[in-house]
Amino acid sequence: MDSLDIARWQFGITTVYHFLFVPLTIGLSALVAILETAWVRTGRPRYMRAARFWGKLFLINFAMGIVTGIVQEFQFGMNWSDYSRFVGDIFGAPLAIEGLLAFFVESTFLGLWIFGRDRLPKSVHLACIWIVHVGTLLSAYFILAANSWMQHPVGYRVDQETGRAVLTDFWAVLTNSTQLVAFPHTITAAFVTGGMFMAGVSAWHLARKKDVEVFRPSLKLALVVTAIASIGVAVTGDLQGKVMTEQQPMKMAAAEALYETEQPASFSVFTVGTPDGEREVFGIKVPRVLSFLATGTFDGEVKGINDVQAAEVAKYGPGDYRPFVPVAYWNFRIMVGVGMLTALVSLAGLWLLRRGRLPSNPWVYRVGMVSLTLPFIGNSAGWIFTEMGRQPWSVFGVLKTSASVSPGVSASSMLISVVSLTVLYAVLAVIEAGLLIKYAKAGPPSEEEVLPPDDGDDDNDDAERSLAFAY
């Protein structure tokens, strides 16, 4: 492998790893805020016990997200200096706002929420965690605005003297049509992630009949949020597919392994291609469904890979503009399949919990625990599809990935870097899993622990606060 291949591997590994924590942070912050809101409104200690329990897991995940996110931005200067030189005036603006505004909002009010317990009025303390959640949404918005610009560059011009992209309309970047569908799709997927995580941990405790008064409401809330968010994922995903077809027809064609243009186009349920991914050998298809997904009509035309390749050669010059089709095809199906499966699990769980019931079959709880992993698989597959399907472009139609890598960094240096980071991330994964399992198994605090002390002493949660302070 040359330096380009290694740089791509490193960015792929670190990005997918970091994105394991981001949606869980967004989803859990909302769920913790909802539980604390229920406590403020009802005064029932079980809701505060739940908020404190899930809050600890949220803090662990939040800290790990910060650690792994730092590496992402360093790579732009280390491995992708030509990319950074070209897009820095544009790409840096939303990332700077995310760091200086959104992240500081998150960290400031998270500190108030941690250390202000039993010191701040209930309503003010509750407002802090809601502001933290809003901060996570703002962070996601600005980061996705930067990524959406890579998918569909707008609001810029190329300075002919410097050869750099120059920002001309920041509002156009923030309201990019790609951004307007990518953001709600990502956020609803984050709510699914938080919901299934809460459902899986709750199922573990309910299987052992531990703290039922805390984990049954947690499980029901998690399933309701997951069911609603799953609908949002499907709707926004459909909108995103139509925008993608218009802006990146090659990505849609690769997602369906559609080699020749069809009208109407069939949706591929299962396709086997040649080992090089250049033509179809066998496929099972549903007539007209792809036309609807891509164009909104059942008889719409969908361009095939071969025709799009010819069109892009005519537009951009000689070259291979096809992504690796098997990666795009199968990751798209994993993403969609996992989304449908999580929706079914949430609806089945709500049915089993109806009228105050609690399932007695242990298999129900085992399915719930295993289902905890589904959103992480779906999120990773979706992210891989989004980025790999755009290849060979780092900025679609403007800058190729091969022209983005740092010219002065050797392949051996990059190889040492990717191996070191992979080992480090493996160690961090063990630490993260160990902390989550430890605090998840510990269960929620007792009712006495969550009630404010009469003498105003605030030492009933020193362990949690020390942990948060260390992070």
Model confidence at 232: pLDDT above 60: yes
- Cβ atoms < 10 Å from Cβ of 269: 11
Model confidence at 280: pLDDT above 70: no
- Alpha-carbon span 33 to 48, nearest angstrom: 10
Mean pLDDT of 3-20: 88
Mean pLDDT of 8-30: 90
pLDDT of residue 418: 87
pLDDT of residue 469: 38
Q: Give, in degrees to the nearest 5, the angle at Cα 271 between 267 and 275.
A: 145
What is the β-pairing status of strands 399-400 and 393-395? antiparallel
Residue 323 — left, alpha, or beta (φ > 0 → left; ψ -120 to 50 → alpha)?
A: beta
From 192, 176, 191, 124, select the one nearest 396 (Cα to Cα): 176
Answer whether residue 120 is part of any domain: yes
Answer whether residue 310 is part of any domain: no
Mean pLDDT of 289-309: 84
pLDDT of residue 353: 84
Model confidence at 458: pLDDT above 80: no
pLDDT of residue 98: 83
Answer whether residue 465 is part of any domain: no
For the stretch 149-200, pLDDT in tens is 999 999 999 988 888 989 899 999 999 999 999 999 999 999 999 999 999 9
Answer whether residue 325 is part of any domain: no
- Alpha-carbon span 92 to 273, nearest angstrom: 40
Model confidence at 404: pLDDT above 80: yes
Model confidence at 434: pLDDT above 70: yes
Residue 123 — left, alpha, or beta (φ > 0 → left; ψ -120 to 50 → alpha)?
A: alpha
Q: Are 217 and 47 in contact (CB under 8 A)?
A: yes
CA distances to 36, 157, 221, 301 from 125, in Å: 9, 46, 21, 54
Model confidence at 356: pLDDT above 90: no
For the stretch 97-111, pLDDT in tens is 887 788 888 888 988
Q: Supply the mean pLDDT for the chain.
A: 86
Model confidence at 320: pLDDT above 80: yes
Model confidence at 302: pLDDT above 80: yes
Model confidence at 455: pLDDT above 50: no
pLDDT of residue 462: 46
- φ and ψ at residue 262, rounded to 5 degrees: -130, 145
For the stretch 46-96, pLDDT in tens is 999 999 999 999 999 888 888 787 777 778 778 888 898 888 888 888 888
pLDDT of residue 385: 93
| Residues of the chain above pLDDT 90, percent | 40
- Alpha-carbon span 400 to 320, nearest angstrom: 11
Answer whether residue 97 is part of any domain: yes
Domain that holds residue 236: 3-242+408-442
Weakest-pLDDT range from 19-33, 43-57, 104-118, 284-298: 284-298
Model confidence at 341: pLDDT above 80: yes
Weakest-pLDDT range from 338-347, 354-363, 365-374: 354-363
Q: Are 271 and 329 in contact (CB under 8 A)?
A: yes
Strand blocks (E) in 133-279: 156-158, 165-167, 267-273
Place of tokens 């098997």: 326
Answer whether residue 426 is part of any domain: yes
For the stretch 197-220, pLDDT in tens is 999 999 999 988 888 888 999 999
Supply the angle between the helices 122-151 and 177-207 in degrees, to the nearest 10.
130
- φ and ψ at residue 120, rounded to 5 degrees: -90, 155
Answer whether residue 123 is part of any domain: yes
Q: What's the number of domains the chain is made of?
A: 1
From 62, 46, 38, 142, select the one nearest 99 (Cα to Cα): 142
Q: Model confidence at 275, in pLDDT bands (50, 70, 90)?
A: low
pLDDT of residue 470: 36
- 3-class DSSP state for residue 408? coil
First to last CA, the chain: 37
pLDDT of residue 413: 86
Mean pLDDT of 391-409: 90
Answer whether residue 87 is part of any domain: yes
Helices (H), 19-80: 22-42, 45-78
